[in-house]
Amino acid sequence: MEFSRLTRDITIERDDAGVPHITASTLDDALYGLGYMHATDRLTQILFARAIASGRAAESIAARDELLETDRFFRRIGLHRNQPREREYWPEDVQRQVDHYCAGVNDGMKATGGTWPMWAIGFEAAAWDPTSVLYIGNLLSFGGLAVSQLENERIVIALIQAGGDEGALRELFPGRLEHVDFEILRQARGVKKLSDEALEVLMDLPRLAGSNAWVVSGKLSQSGSPILSSDPHLETNRLPAIWYEAVMRWNGNYAIGATLPGCPLVAVGRTKRVSWGVTYMKGDTTDFFIEDCRKAEEGKWQYRREDAWYDFQVRDEVIGAKGKPSATMRVLENPQGALEVDPEESGDGYYLSLAWTGMQPRSGMAIASWLQMLSAENATEALDVAKGCPQPTLCWVVADVEGNIGMQGNGRFPRRRNGFSGLGPVAAWDARNHWQGVVPADQLPRIYNPECGFIATANEDINEPNRPKLVSQTLPSYRKRRIVEVLEAACEVTIEDMQTLQYDLVSLQAREILPILLPYAPQVLRDKLEDWDYRFDPDSTEAVLFQRFYRNTLLEIFGHERGMGPKRTLYLVTRAGFSSMIIAACDEILKKDLSLWWQTRDKGEMIRTAGEKALLEKEVTWGQFNSFHFTDRFFGGGHVGRLLGFDSPEYPMPGCHATVFQGHVLQTATRESTFAPSYHFVTDMATDLAWTNMPGGPSESRFSRYYKSDVPLWLDGDYKKLAPKFETSPTDPPEESPQTPLP
């Protein structure tokens, strides 16, 4: 490829899939080339993401209600306030590397000039700088990850404030709500759940809210070296894909994998000596507090500590809106967090405030950790780099060419009062409830060369006995246990075996829950499901029948007025507002013989009723029931998008939330969303190769042949080869996906 403004001695070539191969003499220049290609192929994506992270999306993109809502959300938490200072904490080499990357983005931006979406809305682009990199990093940490924990805590608050039975709710979340005063919480104001439209904006952000990663040692592999597999899960049906694949080579080393546009990091990948994959730990780094607030005689708002009152700090945020007058949002905050709402509207009383450890100094060192991973010489060094990463909370799985494997948890976790989970709010006026520093990194989970010969992680509850509790929500372990089940039976493992496991469709949830339900089911339903193989294959009608039977059971048992309520339960257990935390908690209740959830009702009769209702629905296959469309992030979904071919035909989505291939379709306010593997990566440390696919391609342009170049591979479970030495394939490029024009 030739570029008019390329100012470094580097070479950039595309392979048949459009993946850029960047060759440079130094890592600095390779990162410059990566920045150049991010601007070349994903300029709209990185500029719009920066606008959202800085709380200026409505001002610079469009004055839409959902963008105004996300602007207020990010500005209230203060995501924009601390970025300039964070660069000063970086080591000199990291500062230099980020500067080179930003120079590449800016040169690429000048060469590109602009994009169609930018032209359509009159978007004016400012230069890319280290603060921009930190914004994108914080989107990964907060907008994409901590928000999921935050929304689960809001669900718990809403269930309590809706008047659900206290004993039943404590049973639903055992050991997690003992510290919560239900009476005080029910008086607190400020539960502002994000709207579906605003959550859809956040769905566009880089997230690892669900993922799989595992590694087998050489004693289990056919090659005699470790094989590492990783597949982060996020929204997959809106193009361009969130990740951007690249191959960088410099001074005898290389990096292959999925990069994050706007940042010089490789989220999942490998170098000559080390490979890594990550999953979201779902660690709890956010807390709600209950503040007792009053308005003093002089007009200032105050908060109470024991019997004393103190003035809130006041911060005014000017929220712009394109083509409309700006509005000022007042934020009241103190050392324990920021109030969720302005108390001026409702007067004295209890209010909720929010705290996040990511607002503490040195949170930006996460960028340094990702860059330092490129220089790790072995698994031990890689684990140490991961341990020092302050955010987001992840489980890193690593392997090296010497045959070592390991796992390291990371994150900055608040040290809470003994016995407090963090899932429910506590009174801020009692100083014993305040955070007491953070959990030392040496107390975070670590595994090195286990005797069993493999390590797997898939968003399971990672809390360890006699250790700080890092996870507060109830988490399903079905995917993790299925991976372990397969690996325990494995020997002479190959790349192909790991690729097959990444597409595994067996649901351990169905295998464990169906025997509980089936004895009470109508005979017709029993006949249909008793020989089912528990696979959520697109051709399966049994998968749909089970899902309906299971959904109806949850509605019957948990949807009564003294429970979660019928409407809220319907929202939380279906594709409208699916909550894996609620699903996991309900599954544990279903396994009981006695429970407060059916103490005055007949469990078997409710299950039978659920089965009868499931039989009334039309029989369809899982592929018909769980289908989706690819659409464009910027133009899809509307009349213009359909007219210009931005929306694809309907595709079946295999799998469900409980299968290794987590194929999940959600129906939100105005469109469908998906949650599925956004990148498949497998590498054998005996070679320099990686095998990958993704639901998309390198380019964000609908009219590029590289817009959907990997989609056929992703749909069919096929993989392409990435190698540090650029090779032209003797075969034809992948078959063009529907509605992608020929070059």
Residue stretches of the annotated binding site for Ca(2+) = 153, 284, 287
Query: Contact 35/264 with Cβ under 8 angstroms?
Result: yes
Joined tokens for residue 77:
């938490």
The amino acid present at 617, given as its one-letter code, is E
Beta strand residue intervals within 381-503, DSSP E = 394-400, 405-410, 426-427, 446-448, 454-457
Concatenating the DSSP letter of every residue in 184-217 gives HHTT-B---PPPHHHHHHHHTS---SEEEEEEE-
Q: Is 211 a catalytic residue?
A: yes
CA 71 centroid distance within chain = 20
What is the C-alpha separation between 701 and 487, in angstroms, rounded? Answer: 40
Angle at 581 between CA 674 and CA 628, to 5 degrees: 10
522 preceded by a cis bond (ω within 30 of 0): no
What is the C-alpha separation between 693 and 663, in angstroms, rounded? Answer: 15
CA 633 centroid distance within chain = 17
Query: Contact 408/398 with Cβ under 8 angstroms?
Result: yes
What is the C-alpha separation between 146 and 143, in angstroms, rounded? Answer: 7
Q: How far apart, in Å, are the Cα atoms of 43 and each of 116, 267, 490?
A: 10, 19, 44
Task: Return phi, psi of residue 623, to 5°.
Answer: -65, -30
Length of the chain: 743
What is the C-alpha separation between 325 and 319, in angstroms, rounded? Answer: 9
**Residue 590 forms beta bridges with which residues?**
none
Task: Return phi, psi of residue 408, to 5°.
Answer: -135, 130
HSE, CB side, 13 Å, CA atoms: give it for residue 492. 0
The Cβ of residue 720 has, within 10 Å, a number of other Cβ atoms equal to 20
Within 561-704, residue ranges assigned H as helices are: 566-573, 580-590, 603-615, 622-625, 639-643
Quick one: CA dihedral 67, 72, 77, 80, positive or negative?
positive
Q: Is 316 strand, coil or helix? A: strand
User: Could you write out the three-class secondary structure of 285-316?
Assistant: CEEEEEEEEEECCCCCEEEEECCEEEECEEEE
What is the C-alpha separation between 358 and 371, in angstroms, rounded? Answer: 19
Query: Contact 291/352 with Cβ under 8 angstroms?
Result: yes
Task: List Cβ neighbours of 269 (8 Å cut-off, separation of 6 or more).
Answer: 255, 256, 257, 258, 275, 276, 681, 690
Q: Which residue has the tokens 């200032």?
A: 300
Q: Which helix (H) or strand (E) holds 39?
A: helix 27-53
Q: Which helix (H) or strand (E) holds 652?
A: strand 650-652
What is the C-alpha separation between 43 and 417, in angstroms, rounded? Answer: 45
Joined tokens for residue 553:
């059971």
Burial of 733 (0-12, 13-18, 19+ CB in 10 A): middle
Q: How far apart, in Å, are the Cα atoms of 688 and each of 33, 275, 501, 602, 682?
A: 21, 10, 22, 60, 11
Angle at 366 between CA 364 and CA 367, to 5 degrees: 85
Options 148, 211, 363, 648, the catalytic residue: 211
Q: Which residues are catalytic?
A: 211
